[in-house]
Structure 1
Amino acid sequence: MMAGRRGAQDLFDSILFADERFRGKGYQEGFRKGTHRGLHNGRRNGASQGAKLSSEISFYYGFAITWKCLLECNADNKSRKCLRALEALLNLIQKSPLDDPQSMTLQEDTEKLRAKFRQVCSMLGVPTDFKDYIKTAEGTSF
């Protein structure tokens, strides 16, 4: 009689703890899938943001080199001031830790580059909105 009672108790326990067991398995599976999806989305977002930053800074570099070439022939005071500001912009670009996305100073250095770019644009009398210079085809992405 004891064996029958024990069997019924085991059956009752397995039913009672089934919910807990399945909830634990579901949590583990969800955690695993969520971690995988989070890493995938993080990599995709990081690549996208990195491409945007790279495009922006590459533009600043080309902008500065072009204006430097245009102004080098001028001997007036305004051109010399602009050339010094352009040199400062180029130096900031060269010193920026762009190849290290985990750099502690990347955000600060990027803000300095943007500020210097705005200063140079102001001195040259040209628009400062980066988007005005870049015309991309609809649907183009990195």
Structure 2
Amino acid sequence: MSGGSGAEDMFDSIVMADERFRGEGYREGFERGSRRGLLDGQRHGASHGAKLSTEISFYHGFAVTWKCLLQHNTDVKSRKRLKALDALLGQIQDSPHAEPQSTQLQIDVDKLRAKFRQVCSMLNIPADFKDFVKTSEGTSF
């Protein structure tokens, strides 16, 4: 009887070792996957945030430049253009771009893009952001 008990104990220890190693492997893999997922998420978020910041900064610079160019014109068309540029600048200032967790951010960015296209139409210039901003490799956003 004692021989059977020893064999059973050895068999149990083998089965238990297999279960223990499988559990440890799962935990280790899960932890590594979680860390990798967080790092990938941070990298993606930073990249997306940088592109969005570049786009909003471009709209701001665009509006300020055109406002300076048109500020001394007194004709009706120029006054309408200046009013639209002021509205674009107001939208930029009021948008929650400083709060990346804001649920309103995407809605405001879409409205900002629409206002930019409207202003470009009033100025008779192309409204595609890609026409204005190029990356260092020469490809557009």
- TM-score if structure 2 supplies the norm length? 0.92
How do residues 38-49 of structure 1 correspond to structure 2 at under 5 angstroms?
Answer: 38-49=37-48
How do residues 43-62 of structure 1 correspond to structure 2 at under 5 angstroms?
Answer: 43-62=42-61
| Matched pairs, number | 139
Q: Which runs of 5+ in 2 are unaligned?
A: none
Q: Describe the SS at the equivalent of 1:41.
A: helix
Q: 1:74 Cα deviation (Å)?
A: 0.9
RMSD over aligned CA atoms reads: 1.5
Residue of structure 1 equivalent to 2:33:
34
Instruction: Kindly indicate whether residue 137 of structure 2 is the aligned counterpart of residue 130 of structure 1.
Output: no
Q: Following TM superposition, where does structure 1 have runs of at least 4 consecutive aligned residues deviating by more than 6 angstroms?
A: none
Q: 1:139 Cα deviation (Å)?
A: 7.9
Residue of structure 2 equivalent to 1:103:
102
Deviates more, 1:127-136 or 1:13-22: 13-22
Q: 1:73 Cα deviation (Å)?
A: 1.0
Q: Which runs of 5+ in 1 are unaligned?
A: none
Higher relative contact order (CA 8 A, sep 6+): 1
Deviations 1:5-44 (A, max 9, x none): 2221111112223332222111101100001101111111
Matched residues in 2 for 1:47 and 1:25: separation?
A: 33
How do residues 1-142 of structure 1 correspond to structure 2 at under 5 angstroms?
Answer: 1=1, 3-138=2-137
- Counterpart of 1:11, as a letter, is M
Matched residues in 2 for 1:55 and 1:134: separation?
A: 9
Deviates more, 1:62-71 or 1:8-17: 8-17
Q: Describe the SS at the equivalent of 1:137.
A: coil
- TM-score if structure 1 supplies the norm length? 0.92
- Counterpart of 2:136, as a letter, is A
